[in-house]
Chains A and B, each alone.
Chain A
Amino acid sequence: MRVSVLKLVIQVLLLSILALQARAELVIEITQGKQSAIPMAVVPFKWKGLKALPENVAQIVANDLGRSGYFNSLPKTEMLSLPNTEEEIFYRDWELLKQDYLVVGEIKEDSRGGYIINFKLIDVNTQTALMNQKLTGGASALRDIAHFMSDRIFAALTGLPGAFSTKLVYVTTNRERTKFNLSYADADGAREQNIFSSKQPIISPSWSYDGKKIAYASFENGRSEIFIQEIASGKREKIASFKGSNSAPAFSPDGKQMAMVLSRNGNPDVYVMDLASRKLNRITTHYGIDTEPQWMPGGQSLIFTSSRVGKPQIYQVSIADRKPKRITFEGDYNARARITPDGRKMVMVHRNNGRFHIATQNMKTGVLQILTSETQLDESPSVAPNGSMVVYAASVGDRSILAAVSLDGEVKFRLPSKYGDVREPAWSPLLK
């Protein structure tokens, strides 16, 4: 008996060491929550297997939902009971804790070493199950199952697709700027892996709309050139290496074209390349800086940054008539605009009182709202595919970190790296 207890202790210790090692390079800190967030509890799931589970599924779901800003996840330590089935729920406990929703479930091992998760989403007020689902996955897929579950719950309660199963790519670099990695990780920073490394800078990673490829600019040959890399195979192809700089790639929504910035004629201008024929279509011809093109939903026009009035402002240009129209008027520095999936809001870098922050502008009314204030030198905003959050790079202390803010500015969290600087995040589309 004593021997087996000892064995168990050793096993737990070993597992916790493993768990520590497996921790992501990015660690999330929630810095501001939503006042109106819905209180809910994800109760730890029942597990009867012999070995400890490699992931804490309920915790991942609770973190996902909490980080979305729409929900306040009740910490396990504050729960009065820990039901695993609908029958075990004692509703008074949850009414007392003022929880609106409850997730209960259990995890079983299947015959092939994978997992089966049965869970229910319960409305505490009506005491009914809103959702009763069974999810299955392989041995290595527990984290994926957890994010999938978060997506389902989020969609059921908000009407928006969840973006928890999505990925991020970003650039990590050491302090000395002698090593650059293009990193790929879950949207919560977990399971980070480097998909490209170089001694020279890497900038402007950008996803194809099908989530299968990433385009970026790499300085590996002494100046910036555009590459497309297939995520699954790692296969790389050089797309643009004209004289001068080749940068700011952006796949068109249909994946057939790529907007980019080339300085082959001396001055940086926006071009659109047909990816099959490699034929270039020059979109801007002004002597000022024209850069950071981004496709509007539908792919008929681009928004881009231009210094044609002296300071950077955002312009919109239709591919058909190539007549740029200025769309930002507030402040003397608006750059790197990204558009929400519904096309209603633009997210950009905006300078206010000499400080660089992330701001949104309503495309219809033109009303500008500054979203960030605690971080400094905010840049590289990228919008989540469900339009709920913006991830961006910022300076905190003397480090460059990733931070995120909800589109209404109410929820904020940070993903500081354990070492070096993290820059240039790009949020993936919804992955199928």
Chain B
Amino acid sequence: MQKRALVKTLGLTLGAVLMTACASNSDLAEGDELQPLDAAAQETAAEVETKGVDAQAVAGEQVDAAANEAQAALMDVSVFYFAFDNTTIKADSKNSLIAHSQYLAANPSARVVLEGHADERGTVEYNLALAERRALSVSRFLKANGAASAQIETVSFGEERPALMGHNDDSWSQNRRVEIKYQSR
């Protein structure tokens, strides 16, 4: 748990660095295209450019690797839990779901099935509908964050496929879930 939190923090920090790096890079690229008004400015810009490109090219590679790792760690989470009779995505699910969205956006051939599940309390058909709406919630979230509709399929199993067989709060909290299953990466 602590390790995961650390990876997450690291990921976010490095992500921020990466974003800064990208920003400087594009600034410089724009500057490059501009016709400099005087030599000094050009020289300064060139200096900064040379230094900047060197330093940031190296840093950029490191950040990419770490960011990929962080993204992979976030994507390791593929089961998302819900409160009773509720289809709202929990706050602590969001970073991982964003990572999945970004992956789907970056890999247009990737396909996922979102499997919705409910706990055994309440009626079979209501739970089938509830679990379907959970899957649809996740689907909407993924699409809002860059995934395409064609990449996502939803299916509901209602209360029929519990992850845990117990008849208690522990089992129920594990059974109210949406599982992201990649059909192709």
A residues whose Cβ falls under 8 Å from a Cβ of B: 175, 177, 201, 203-204, 219, 222-224, 244-245, 247-248, 261, 263, 266-268, 289-292, 305, 307, 311-312, 333, 335-336, 349, 351, 356, 376-377, 379-380, 395, 398, 423-424
Expressed in whole angstroms, the minimum distance between the Cβ of A420 and any Cβ of chain B is 12
Q: Which listed residue (B128, B136, B158) contacts A266, Cβ 8 A?
A: B136
CB–CB A244/B124 < 8 A: no
Q: Which residues of A contact B124 (CB under 8 A)?
A: 203-204, 336, 379-380, 423-424
**Complex contact B125–A312 (CB within 8 A):** no
Other-chain residue from B85, B156, B162 in contact with A177 (beta carbon distance below 8 A):
B162
Is the Cβ of B160 less than 8 Å from the Cβ of A201? yes
State how many angstroms separate the Cβ of A333 from the closest Cβ of chain B: 7
Contact present for A292 and B126 (CB under 8 Å): yes
Chain A residues near B126: list those with CB within 8 A. Answer: 289, 291-292, 305, 307, 312, 335-336
Q: Which residues of chain B come closer than 8 Å to A395, judged between CB atoms?
A: 120, 167
Q: Which residues of A contact B156 (CB under 8 A)?
A: 223-224, 245, 263
In the assembled complex, the CB of B46 is this many whole angstroms from the nearest CB of chain A, namely 56
Contact with A along B136-176 (1 / 0, CB 8 A): 10000000000000000011111011100111000000000
- In the complex, what distance in Å separates the CA atom of A292 from the CA atom of B123? 9
CB < 8 Å: which of A204, A289, A333, A380 contacts B133?
A289
Chain B contacts for A292, CB-based, 8 A:
123, 125-126
A291–B128 CB distance below 8 A: yes
Taking a contact as CB atoms under 8 Å apart, the answer to whether B167 and A268 are in contact is no
Can you show 12 pairs from A to B with CB atoms below 8 A apart? A175-B165, A203-B128, A204-B125, A219-B157, A223-B155, A245-B156, A248-B125, A291-B128, A292-B123, A312-B123, A333-B85, A349-B122
Per-residue CB proximity of B77-112 to A under 8 Å, as 1/0?
Answer: 000000001000000000000000000000000000
- Tell me, in angstroms, the Cα distance from A415 to B156 when the chains sit together: 30
Q: Are B130 and A289 in contact (CB under 8 A)?
A: yes
| With A244-B154, A245-B128, A261-B129: A177-B160 Cβ-Cβ less than 8 Å | yes
Is B132 part of the contact surface with A, judged by Cβ < 8 Å?
yes
Which residues from chain B contact A263 at a C-beta distance below 8 Å? 129, 132, 156
Distance between Cα atoms of A423 and B160 in the complex (Å) = 11
In angstroms, Cα B172 to Cα A356, docked, is: 15
Kindly state the separation between the CA atoms of A152 and B129 in the bound complex, as whole angstroms. Answer: 43
Beyond A223-B155, A266-B136, A377-B167, whether A356 also contacts B129 by CB under 8 A is: no
Please measure, in the bound complex, the distance between the C-alpha atom of A261 and the C-alpha atom of B128, giving whole angstroms.
10
The answer to whether B157 and A201 touch across the interface, beta carbons within 8 angstroms, is yes
CB of B158 within 8 A of CB of A379, answer no
Contact B160 A356 (CB under 8 A): no
By the criterion CB–CB under 8 Å, are A311 and B128 in contact?
A: no
Asked if B121 and A356 sit within 8 Å, CB to CB, the answer is yes
Which one of A219, A291, A377 lies within 8 Å of B125 (CB-CB)? A291
Q: Please measure, in the bound complex, the distance between the C-alpha atom of A305 and the C-alpha atom of B123, giving whole angstroms.
A: 10
CB < 8 Å neighbour of B132 from A244, A398, A424: A244
Taking a contact as CB atoms under 8 Å apart, the answer to whether A268 and B129 are in contact is yes
B155 adjacent to A335 (CB under 8 Å) = no
- Residues from chain B with Cβ under 8 Å of A380 in the complex: 123-124
Besides A263-B132, A380-B123, 13 new A-B residue pairs in contact (Cβ under 8 A), listed by A number? A219-B157, A223-B155, A223-B156, A245-B128, A247-B125, A248-B125, A268-B133, A291-B126, A291-B129, A312-B122, A349-B123, A351-B122, A379-B123
- Residue of B at shortest CB range from A173? B160
Q: B86 → chain A, closest Cβ, in Å?
A: 10
B167 touching A203, Cβ below 8 Å:
no
From known contacts A263-B132, A291-B128, infer whether A335 and B165 are also in contact, taking CB-CB under 8 Å. no
- Is A203 within 8 A of B123, CB to CB? no
Residue of A nearest to B136 (CB): A266
Residues of A within 8 A of B160 (CB): 177, 201, 203, 219
Interface residues of B in 25-71 (CB under 8 A from A): none
A248 and B130 CA atoms in complex are apart in Å by 14
Q: Can you name the residue of chain B whose Cβ is closest to the Cβ of A312?
A: B126
Contact B122 A379 (CB under 8 A): yes
Residues of B within 8 A of A289 (CB): 126, 129-130, 133
- In angstroms, Cα B120 to Cα A380, docked, is 12
The one of B85, B121, B132, B157 that contacts A268, using a Cβ cutoff of 8 Å: B132
Q: How far is the CB of A391 from chain B (nearest CB, A)?
A: 15
Chain A CB within 10 A, most for which of B136, B160, B161:
B160
Hey, which chain A residues are within 8 Å of B121, CB to CB?
A: 356, 377
